[in-house]
Amino acid sequence: MNTELSQYGVVTLVSAGPGDPELLTIKAAKAIEHAEVIVFDNLVSKEIRTTFPTHAEHIYVGKKKGRHSRTQNEINQLMVQLATQGKNICRVKGGDAFVFGRGSEEMLFLAQNGIRVDVVPGITAASGCSTYSQIPLTHRGISQGCTFITAHADKELGIKWEALASLNQTLVIYMGLSKTDMICQKLLAAGMKAETPIAFIEKGCTQEHRTIIGKLTQLTELKVQHDIQSPALIVIGQVVAVSEQMQWLEQRTKHTLNSAQQESNPLLRLSA
């Protein structure tokens, strides 16, 4: 064994899930707890950041639209530098690092530089956030499949909109908030129905979780009306109606329970 390489630290690439710290896997929580250095992204929620141990060095390398604290190359070089100093690094990324998270790029770069990488998978935003919003990604008789796409690309988007519109599946769009006009126009032109249900899920699985529901032609209107902020997912498809049905059922159940309580309690009947 190369003695120099054996003295290098290890990088644990942790997918932290969509925001709720209770959605961290046991393996992810252990990796964070035992890290010497934690290198974390903007999409790692503030709730998860509170779980970072005080004994570890915390390095923020977040990237927002138009505002990057460091370039991707600088982040890669930072991790190599820390690992060659013998430090064990926990690289924490939101959602699942292998779903539009550049996790594979970082893994390959580290490996090419002789750094050992351990990978911890996590709940991707599409699954976690839609479930918290009571929107199933698939539902028998409604949607037999689901497609994830990103509206962000270094160059032109290579998306086959006609194929997406004809699949009759759930469509989940990451990083699409700034391109709602384009998304709507492309899908309508490709044949998707104007009345197709859509949902914005803002800051999913955090204390600020918010779900806004409408139809495809309202995509930009709803974004502006409700001042939807990043991070936000866009879910398109008939499964969105399941969430509306759940809300109706919950309201009906609440009303039924209140009525039953009033019938069984004369004081409640008088106060009502």
For residue range 41-91, what is the model confidence (pLDDT) as tens digits? 999 999 999 999 999 999 999 977 666 679 999 999 999 999 999 999 999
- Is the pTM of the predicted complex or chain greater than 0.95? no
What element of type H or E holds 83? helix 72-84
Instruction: Please say if the pLDDT value at position 166 is more than 80.
Output: yes
**Residue whose C-alpha is closest to residue 106's, from 125, 83, 129:** 83
Mean pLDDT in residue range 234-243: 95
Report the 10 Å Cβ neighbour count for 84.
16
Q: Which of 20, 27, 30, 41 is catalytic?
A: 41
Grade residue 243 by pLDDT with cuts at 50, 70 and 90: confident
The pLDDT value recorded for residue 269 is 47
- Do residues 202 and 212 make contact, with C-beta atoms less than 8 angstroms apart? yes
Q: Which of 27, 30, 63, 215 is catalytic?
A: 63
Instruction: Please say if the pLDDT value at position 5 is more than 60.
Output: no
Mean pLDDT in residue range 136-158: 87
d(CA 259, CA 237): 35
The pLDDT value recorded for residue 63 is 77
- Bridging pattern class, strands 63-64 and 67-68: antiparallel
The pLDDT value recorded for residue 244 is 82
- What structural domains and CATH numbers belong to the chain? 3-123 (3.40.1010.10), 126-246 (3.30.950.10)
The pLDDT value recorded for residue 155 is 60
Q: pLDDT of 79-128, one tens digit each?
A: 999 999 999 999 999 999 999 999 999 999 999 999 999 999 999 999 99
- Do residues 36 and 136 make contact, with C-beta atoms less than 8 angstroms apart? no
- pLDDT averaged over the chain? 90
Q: pLDDT of 188-205, one tens digit each?
A: 999 999 999 999 999 999
Joined together, the tokens standing for residue 37 give: 């250095």
The pLDDT value recorded for residue 251 is 73
The pLDDT value recorded for residue 255 is 55
The pLDDT value recorded for residue 3 is 45
d(CA 109, CA 121): 18
Instruction: Please say if the pLDDT value at position 167 is more than 60.
Output: yes
Instruction: Please say if the pLDDT value at position 232 is more than 60.
Output: yes
Joined together, the tokens standing for residue 57 give: 């060095």
- Do residues 64 and 42 make contact, with C-beta atoms less than 8 angstroms apart? yes
The pLDDT value recorded for residue 15 is 98
Residue with tokens 């498809």: 237
User: Residue 179 catalytic?
Assistant: no
Instruction: Please say if the pLDDT value at position 8 is more than 60.
Output: yes
Grade residue 250 by pLDDT with cuts at 50, 70 and 90: confident
Grade residue 270 by pLDDT with cuts at 50, 70 and 90: very low
User: Residue 154 catalytic?
Assistant: no
